[in-house]
Structure 1
Amino acid sequence: MLLANAHPDYRKPLDPADADMLGLAGAAEAGRFLAHRDDHAPTPLHRLPGLAAALDVGAICVKDEGFRLGLGSFKALGGAYAVVRLVLEEAGRRLGRPVDYAELGSPEIRSIAAGMTFACATDGNHGRSVAQGARLVGARAAIFVHGGVSQERVGAIARFGAEMVRVDGTYDDSVAEAARVAAEKGWTIVSDTSWPGYERIPGLVMQGYTAMLREALGAVAEVPTHVFVQAGVGGVAAAVAGHLAALFGDRRPSVVVVEPARAACIYATAQAGRPVKVAHGEPTVMAMLECYEPSLIAWRVLSRAAEAFMTVEEEDAVAIMNRLARPGAGDPAIVAGESGGVGLAGLVRAAADPGARSALRLDSASRVLVFNTEGATDPQLYAKLVGLSPQEVLAKPAGSQPGVFA
């Protein structure tokens, strides 16, 4: 269940390029972008005193990305940000001068953006972000989805005016097909995973993700001792671990990376000590995390900055959705999608295992930060798994005030 980081690079400084991308200056750039968005507001940070007591830890705080930028997922921070940065850079090259976010609405910049097409593969949330970013600047988007992506998620992307392309096979097959078609047509791939020779744009996506961590750290009275964060290809986990390493160095919180057991490419990579592609088997309910090959840039960061790696089962993901929807005394009701509560599910599993508690130094003084990375991005599936609609959960009286570690 739990694998300590035994990589030779563990606790070494970040690669200079990663430190630049995920450090203070890079994160501040992502913050500047959000400041220019009229629809931006910090997402809630909730304290779960009831669950913390049940797990015998000092405090649990949940950063709820289900309210992020109208897309219901942390991925709203990544793809759209990368699209906008790429448009600004292209405009700067053509105009021979720096171009700022404040100019995005100008006819001159929108004319340049109109000639650009951004493509990506997605399980749902990243594609929505790329499509939204393209619409923000007046560019075009082509989004590739595999057969496992529900029609509800496809429709949620298409409403931003994106061209939708269905691909047979898995997420990794859709990544390959998007790259092939984009190369033929001269489109720009905005991927949340990286491969040899393709790192900068996924790095920008990860840089966008640092905004949720910065908001969380700005709202807590004390720095967390532990962070449990989920991984698909590893991008958000690396953004969190990398930014914490850049901020706190050897005094950083312990970061535990949590994956579905059915799609644990980061866990397998940590076992092997090198990037590993795992076999595609039975699909996981944690659809946004169903990835079988790690992002190279993400692994480079995690090999240095993650404390441990672990997996959770299908029932763990569904159980935490239900636990958050029907909270214990003192806890607020939270809508978490199938992948949203996976980091918290990892904490529940680890806290119940004496060996894991000892290895991670989890105790009654631990302050744990987790991220609800998505709300009910597929409301019908959410209602099936939880037995309540998202609206019914959100209508419940708050069990506690949004809080901070105390």
Structure 2
Amino acid sequence: MFLLNTLPAHNKPLIPVDAETLGESAAETVERFLEHRANHAETPLHSLPALAAALGVASIHVKDEGHRLGLGSFKALGGAYAVIRLLLEEAGEKLGRAVDVSELQSPEVRAVARTMTVACATDGNHGRSVAQGAELVGARAAIFVHPGVSDERVAAIARFGADMIRVDGTYDESVREAARIAEARGWTIVSDTSLPGYERIPGLVMQGYTALVREALRKMPEPPTHVFIQCGVGGIAAAVAGHLAIVLGDERPIFAVVDPARAACIFETARAGHPVTIAHGEPTIMAMLECYEPSLVAWRVLSRVADAFMTIDEEDAVSVMRQLADPAAGDPAIVAGESGGVGLAGLMKAASDPAIKAALRIDGQSRIFLVNTEGATDPGKYEEIVGRSPAAVAAKNAMGAEA
């Protein structure tokens, strides 16, 4: 399915709070905070010239978040950043002065952290980031997971010392249960989806994602003309689209949001013209994107700066995982999890459909920007789908680089 943005808000400026959240100054703050994170390093920006030639575009660049902060997902940038911000604000109130991120490990700030419990619901990656952030600052974390979260992903979160709480039902039901228990126990919800009256913390999570855009723009020879990016509740898409719109202004790229067909809450919201909750149906293999209710803040941004909305099918996600693992000659291999290559799947669908290609003005001069939002966060499932382990794919790529 494909839909151009014809909403009244399209191409209107972001409202001031969203422009401040996703602007250059905020992104600079995120990068400064990253300097205080263990294992911080800029993630790779891969060029795929052979695939670009095959699709008839000038270039394709993929920001590979499978290498981010040892967590294997772009979500490492958001949840932990929000936890750090919230701690520093709480410490500032308790100590009666402004507290800088450089004081994160001071005894006074650690003492405040020990009084805090942060909580969230997750499909896997966001919860891992919140748990890592809590461990970093010395706070407690309670992470709520639904039955679709694999045991391997649960274990990856638990290793940061988080209390794991199982919830029957969908991701959205786990979000509501986390909010209910957190309110009763005085915990702080650090969610990546916003609800009426709950916008600031999801905004901080989105703000964390702007770092990957700044890193990519520094490395690309020219800014992109097109962006295809996957969408769950909308946070990553809104962060990338909003930041690029602010930084590039009238030269901003054409932005296409890509949903799984089985969990297309942003697509259906765009079709309806207002936020809608869609029915829970057959699960999608794109587990990190299996969301049925959009984030209100994310939608507010996307309604203005997204140009098109589209969906891909299950087989598209599988196919692109395999293609990235075994690329055209000369292109690097990329380990992409079930949700990681969805933006590329959207590009490939658009490039092969003359009507969509024309609507998005894709041609031989187009410069495409994509984000591999996750690596093999469930290595067993990755090997089952791709036929090789993540390590084998990475090793092949390393051997190719040495040749």
User: With structure 2 as the length reference, what TM-score do the two structures score?
Assistant: 0.98
Distance 1:237 1:95 in 2: 37
Distance 2:400 2:371 in 1: 18
How do 1:49-128 residues align onto structure 2 when only pairs under 5 Å count? 49-128=49-128
Letter in 2 for 1:279: A
Describe the superposition over 1:36-59 as per-residue Cα deviations: whole angstroms up to 9, x where unpaired: 224210000000011111111110
The 8 Å contact of residues 331 and 399 in structure 1, kept in 2 or not, is answered as no
Describe the superposition over 1:125-147 as per-residue Cα deviations: whole angstroms up to 9, x where unpaired: 00000000000000000000001
How do 1:225-240 residues align onto structure 2 when only pairs under 5 Å count? 225-240=225-240
Distance 2:90 2:116 in 1: 9
Counterpart in the other structure of 1:184 = 184
Describe the superposition over 1:270-315 as per-residue Cα deviations: whole angstroms up to 9, x where unpaired: 0000001011000000000000000000000000010110000000
Counterpart in the other structure of 2:377 = 377
Counterpart in the other structure of 2:310 = 310
The 8 Å contact of residues 141 and 162 in structure 1, kept in 2 or not, is answered as yes
Distance 1:24 1:393 in 2: 36
Counterpart in the other structure of 2:360 = 360
Distance 1:226 1:192 in 2: 25
The 8 Å contact of residues 145 and 167 in structure 2, kept in 1 or not, is answered as yes
Distance 1:259 1:99 in 2: 40
The 8 Å contact of residues 146 and 167 in structure 1, kept in 2 or not, is answered as yes
Distance 1:59 1:349 in 2: 17
Moved over 4 A (4+): 398-401
| Alpha-carbon offset, residue 25 of structure 1 | 1.1
Tell me: CA distance 1:397–1:21, structure 2 relative to 1, closer, same or farther (3 Å). Answer: closer
SS of the equivalent of 2:369 reads strand
Q: Give the length in aligned residue pairs.
A: 402
Tell me: CA distance 1:320–1:186, structure 2 relative to 1, closer, same or farther (3 Å). Answer: same
Counterpart in the other structure of 1:263 = 263
How do 1:342-357 residues align onto structure 2 when only pairs under 5 Å count? 342-357=342-357
| Alpha-carbon offset, residue 20 of structure 1 | 0.5
Counterpart in the other structure of 1:170 = 170
SS of the equivalent of 2:396 reads coil
The 8 Å contact of residues 76 and 126 in structure 2, kept in 1 or not, is answered as yes
Counterpart in the other structure of 1:212 = 212
Distance 2:398 2:354 in 1: 32
Tell me: CA distance 1:400–1:250, structure 2 relative to 1, closer, same or farther (3 Å). Answer: farther
Stretches of structure 2 that go unaligned for 5 or more consecutive residues are none
Tell me: CA distance 1:399–1:309, structure 2 relative to 1, closer, same or farther (3 Å). Answer: farther
| Alpha-carbon offset, residue 399 of structure 1 | 8.8
Distance 1:286 1:298 in 2: 20
Counterpart in the other structure of 1:158 = 158
SS of the equivalent of 2:377 reads coil
Distance 1:190 1:54 in 2: 42
Letter in 2 for 1:159: R
| Alpha-carbon offset, residue 398 of structure 1 | 5.1
The 8 Å contact of residues 265 and 278 in structure 1, kept in 2 or not, is answered as yes
The 8 Å contact of residues 224 and 253 in structure 1, kept in 2 or not, is answered as yes
Distance 2:212 2:247 in 1: 15
Describe the superposition over 1:241-266 as per-residue Cα deviations: whole angstroms up to 9, x where unpaired: 11011112222011110010000000
| Alpha-carbon offset, residue 366 of structure 1 | 0.4
SS of the equivalent of 1:180 reads helix
Distance 1:313 1:165 in 2: 31
| Alpha-carbon offset, residue 397 of structure 1 | 3.8
Describe the superposition over 1:88-139 as per-residue Cα deviations: whole angstroms up to 9, x where unpaired: 0000011111101110001110000010000000000000000000000000
SS of the equivalent of 1:255 reads strand
Distance 1:362 1:399 in 2: 34
Describe the superposition over 1:215-251 as per-residue Cα deviations: whole angstroms up to 9, x where unpaired: 0001011000001110000000000011011112222
Counterpart in the other structure of 1:273 = 273
Distance 2:398 2:2 in 1: 34
Distance 1:333 1:246 in 2: 32
Describe the superposition over 1:150-191 as per-residue Cα deviations: whole angstroms up to 9, x where unpaired: 000000000000000000000000000000000000000000
Distance 1:229 1:208 in 2: 17
Stretches of structure 1 that go unaligned for 5 or more consecutive residues are 402-406
| Alpha-carbon offset, residue 330 of structure 1 | 1.1
How do 1:313-352 residues align onto structure 2 when only pairs under 5 Å count? 313-352=313-352
The 8 Å contact of residues 332 and 399 in structure 1, kept in 2 or not, is answered as no
Counterpart in the other structure of 1:404 = none
Distance 2:191 2:254 in 1: 27
RMSD: 1.1
Counterpart in the other structure of 1:144 = 144
